[in-house]
Amino acid sequence: MLRRLLYFLVYSNLFIAACAVLMAWETCRRLHTDISIGSLAGFLFFSTLLSYSFHWYLTPAYTGNSSRVRWLQHFRPVHLALFVAGMAGTIYFFVPLAAYWFWMLGGALATFLYSAPKLPYRFFAWLRTIAIGKTLFLAFMWTYATAVLPVMLSDEPAPPGWLWFILSRFFLLYPICILFDIRDRDYDKKTGIRSLITILSVKQAGYIFWGSLLANVMCILILAGTVTGWSSVFSLLLPSVLTACLYDYAKRHVSDLLYYFILDGFMALSAILYLSAGI
């Protein structure tokens, strides 16, 4: 029963949508923005549910030992219902934020372009051949939605240290995205998806992985001298340390729960620590 519930939360995209909300909440709290998190949280939750449902609904049932793809094929009507709910919720929560449409439009367009190559049309299929920076693109999308957007929606000037916080988040998300691309490397090659990770060797991709984590640590240490204390720094560093510890293991294992629950969960881990400790 618990395993089925976990599969539902993760594979239905409800888990990743909750992670987006936690990450945005953390940004607002750490940077002391003056926005009300309510409407933004609702918008991020449902827009993430919408975009991920759209992305996975277009994912073909390729041959492979993927429990997520099997779940998707078995519960396709549920997935479609969640897609519709995501669209309705996104529209509903966009209305209170409509004055900030300019900042939100870019994120919406970027989200669509990431999944567009999966559409069964020649132009969109052509995007697969030029999407070399898709890993960077995905990390940027998540950073923008959960770290940049909460600052842009604030009526106050950007707080001290905000740039280092945003960079530290990007350099955590990018290594996690690299692990996903290393896992999908053979499949991407077979389906004609070109990315930096399919062009480089696994060893070269590892250099980018470790370099990004090092940049993440440097940004956090710089941030420590501006707006945070050492207990808060620990909560930011722990996800990076755990991601580093899983590097070799993740390269050898393709478990969907490892990637879509544990690694995706690392993105929101600092927010959970921040919330539980009341830092």
Q: Domain ranges in the chain?
A: 2-277
Residues 6+ apart with CB under 8 A from 260: 10, 11, 15, 16, 68
pLDDT in tens, 212-244: 999 999 999 988 876 566 778 889 999 999 999
**What's the pLDDT band for 10 if we cut at 50, 70, 90?**
very high
- Quick one: how far is CA 51 from the chain centroid? 11
Q: How much is the pTM?
A: 0.89
pLDDT at 23 over 70: yes
Q: Is 248 in contact with 4 (CB distance < 8 Å)?
A: no
Residue from 28, 30, 43 nearest 150 by CA: 28
Task: Give the H/E segment covering residue 110.
Answer: helix 101-115
